[in-house]
Homo-oligomer: A and B are copies of this chain.
Amino acid sequence: MLSQKSKYALRALLLLARQPPGEMVLVGEIAEQQNVPHKFLELILLELRKQGILFSQRGRNGGYTLARPKEAITFGEVIRIMDGPLAPLPCASVAGYRRCVDCQDERTCEIRQVMCSVRNAVADVLDNTSLADAIANGLSRERTALAS
Protein backbone atom coordinates (compact mmCIF):
# COMPACT_ATOMS: atom_id res chain seq x y z
CA MET A 1 0.00 0.00 0.00
CA LEU A 2 1.26 3.43 -0.95
CA SER A 3 1.72 5.58 2.16
CA GLN A 4 0.19 8.98 2.61
CA LYS A 5 3.73 10.32 2.58
CA SER A 6 4.41 8.96 -0.91
CA LYS A 7 1.10 10.29 -2.15
CA TYR A 8 1.86 13.76 -0.79
CA ALA A 9 5.37 13.62 -2.23
CA LEU A 10 4.12 12.68 -5.68
CA ARG A 11 1.44 15.36 -5.60
CA ALA A 12 4.01 18.00 -4.71
CA LEU A 13 6.43 16.81 -7.37
CA LEU A 14 3.77 16.73 -10.07
CA LEU A 15 2.77 20.26 -9.15
CA LEU A 16 6.40 21.38 -9.42
CA ALA A 17 6.77 19.51 -12.69
CA ARG A 18 3.93 21.56 -14.14
CA GLN A 19 5.72 24.85 -13.38
CA PRO A 20 8.11 26.52 -15.82
CA PRO A 21 11.58 24.99 -15.21
CA GLY A 22 13.42 26.68 -12.34
CA GLU A 23 10.31 28.37 -10.92
CA MET A 24 10.41 28.37 -7.12
CA VAL A 25 7.27 27.42 -5.21
CA LEU A 26 6.68 27.88 -1.47
CA VAL A 27 5.88 24.95 0.79
CA GLY A 28 2.80 26.85 1.89
CA GLU A 29 1.48 27.17 -1.65
CA ILE A 30 1.94 23.49 -2.36
CA ALA A 31 0.35 22.53 0.95
CA GLU A 32 -2.68 24.69 0.30
CA GLN A 33 -3.20 23.67 -3.31
CA GLN A 34 -2.82 19.96 -2.60
CA ASN A 35 -4.54 19.80 0.78
CA VAL A 36 -1.50 18.58 2.67
CA PRO A 37 -0.60 19.58 6.28
CA HIS A 38 2.06 22.28 5.97
CA LYS A 39 4.54 21.00 8.53
CA PHE A 40 4.21 17.43 7.38
CA LEU A 41 4.90 18.47 3.81
CA GLU A 42 8.02 20.29 5.00
CA LEU A 43 9.45 17.03 6.27
CA ILE A 44 8.68 15.34 3.00
CA LEU A 45 10.20 18.02 0.79
CA LEU A 46 13.23 18.17 3.04
CA GLU A 47 13.87 14.50 2.52
CA LEU A 48 13.39 14.80 -1.21
CA ARG A 49 15.95 17.58 -1.26
CA LYS A 50 18.46 15.52 0.70
CA GLN A 51 18.01 12.74 -1.81
CA GLY A 52 18.71 15.02 -4.74
CA ILE A 53 15.19 15.23 -6.13
CA LEU A 54 14.53 18.83 -5.16
CA PHE A 55 16.51 22.04 -5.03
CA SER A 56 15.64 24.63 -2.41
CA GLN A 57 16.40 28.22 -1.55
CA ARG A 58 15.89 29.86 1.82
CA GLY A 59 14.78 33.33 2.76
CA ARG A 60 12.72 35.76 0.75
CA ASN A 61 11.95 34.61 -2.78
CA GLY A 62 12.86 31.12 -1.62
CA GLY A 63 11.01 27.89 -2.18
CA TYR A 64 11.41 24.54 -3.89
CA THR A 65 11.95 23.48 -7.46
CA LEU A 66 12.87 20.22 -9.18
CA ALA A 67 16.60 19.50 -9.05
CA ARG A 68 16.40 17.67 -12.38
CA PRO A 69 14.24 17.74 -15.50
CA LYS A 70 10.84 16.14 -14.93
CA GLU A 71 11.78 13.48 -17.47
CA ALA A 72 14.55 12.30 -15.14
CA ILE A 73 12.54 11.73 -11.96
CA THR A 74 10.67 8.43 -11.77
CA PHE A 75 7.86 7.25 -9.54
CA GLY A 76 10.04 4.34 -8.48
CA GLU A 77 12.77 6.60 -7.17
CA VAL A 78 10.34 8.75 -5.21
CA ILE A 79 8.44 5.86 -3.67
CA ARG A 80 11.65 4.10 -2.65
CA ILE A 81 12.78 7.25 -0.83
CA MET A 82 9.46 7.63 0.98
CA ASP A 83 8.38 4.03 1.60
CA GLY A 84 11.49 1.94 1.11
CA PRO A 85 11.89 -1.03 -1.24
CA LEU A 86 9.20 -1.83 -3.80
CA ALA A 87 9.31 -5.57 -3.15
CA PRO A 88 6.49 -7.09 -1.08
CA LEU A 89 9.08 -8.91 1.03
CA PRO A 90 12.57 -7.84 2.12
CA CYS A 91 13.99 -11.12 0.79
CA ALA A 92 12.65 -10.26 -2.68
CA SER A 93 14.18 -6.81 -2.80
CA VAL A 94 17.10 -5.95 -5.05
CA ALA A 95 18.16 -2.67 -3.44
CA GLY A 96 17.04 -3.41 0.12
CA TYR A 97 17.60 -7.14 0.44
CA ARG A 98 17.18 -8.65 3.91
CA ARG A 99 16.97 -12.30 4.75
CA CYS A 100 13.73 -13.61 6.31
CA VAL A 101 14.69 -14.65 9.82
CA ASP A 102 12.31 -17.59 9.89
CA CYS A 103 12.88 -18.86 6.37
CA GLN A 104 14.03 -22.47 6.26
CA ASP A 105 15.63 -22.45 2.81
CA GLU A 106 15.56 -19.26 0.80
CA ARG A 107 16.83 -20.95 -2.33
CA THR A 108 13.71 -23.09 -2.61
CA CYS A 109 11.15 -20.77 -0.98
CA GLU A 110 8.18 -20.60 -3.34
CA ILE A 111 6.82 -17.46 -1.72
CA ARG A 112 10.05 -15.61 -2.32
CA GLN A 113 10.13 -16.64 -5.97
CA VAL A 114 6.63 -15.36 -6.60
CA MET A 115 7.35 -12.13 -4.72
CA CYS A 116 10.46 -11.59 -6.84
CA SER A 117 8.22 -11.72 -9.90
CA VAL A 118 5.89 -9.21 -8.30
CA ARG A 119 8.78 -6.93 -7.45
CA ASN A 120 10.00 -7.02 -11.02
CA ALA A 121 6.55 -6.30 -12.40
CA VAL A 122 6.10 -3.34 -10.07
CA ALA A 123 9.59 -1.96 -10.69
CA ASP A 124 9.03 -2.30 -14.41
CA VAL A 125 6.11 0.11 -14.20
CA LEU A 126 7.42 2.54 -11.59
CA ASP A 127 11.01 2.81 -12.79
CA ASN A 128 9.83 3.51 -16.31
CA THR A 129 7.32 6.21 -15.44
CA SER A 130 8.71 9.70 -15.00
CA LEU A 131 6.83 12.74 -13.75
CA ALA A 132 6.76 13.91 -17.38
CA ASP A 133 5.29 10.60 -18.54
CA ALA A 134 2.55 10.76 -15.94
CA ILE A 135 1.60 14.29 -16.89
CA ALA A 136 1.63 13.48 -20.60
CA ASN A 137 -0.62 10.45 -20.10
CA GLY A 138 -2.97 12.53 -18.05
CA LEU A 139 -3.30 15.08 -20.81
CA SER A 140 -3.87 12.48 -23.50
CA ARG A 141 -6.58 10.90 -21.37
CA GLU A 142 -8.09 14.29 -20.93
CA ARG A 143 -8.11 14.86 -24.68
CA THR A 144 -9.64 11.46 -25.23
CA ALA A 145 -12.31 12.13 -22.67
CA LEU A 146 -13.16 15.49 -24.19
CA ALA A 147 -13.23 14.09 -27.70
CA SER A 148 -15.64 11.29 -26.85
Listed in ascending order, the chain A residues whose CB lies under 8 Å from chain B are 1-2, 7, 10-11, 14, 35, 75, 88-89, 102, 104, 107-111, 113-115, 117-118, 121-122, 124-126, 129, 134-135, 137-138, 141-142, 145
Interchain nearest-CB distance for A68 vs B (Å): 18
Using Cβ atoms and an 8 Å threshold, which residues of chain B touch A137? Answer: 110, 113
- Taking A35-B102, A89-B2, A89-B7 as contacts, is the C-beta distance between A118 and B111 under 8 angstroms? no
Nearest-neighbour CB distance to chain B for A105, whole angstroms, equals 10
Q: Please name all residues of chain B whose beta carbon is closer than 8 Å to the beta carbon of A102 when the two chains form the complex.
A: 35
Give the nearest-CB partner of A142 in chain B: B108
Cα A104 to Cα B10 with chains together (Å): 14
Q: Is the CB of A110 within 8 A of B14?
A: yes
| Contact A11:B111 (CB < 8 A) given known A1-B88, A35-B102, A89-B2 | yes
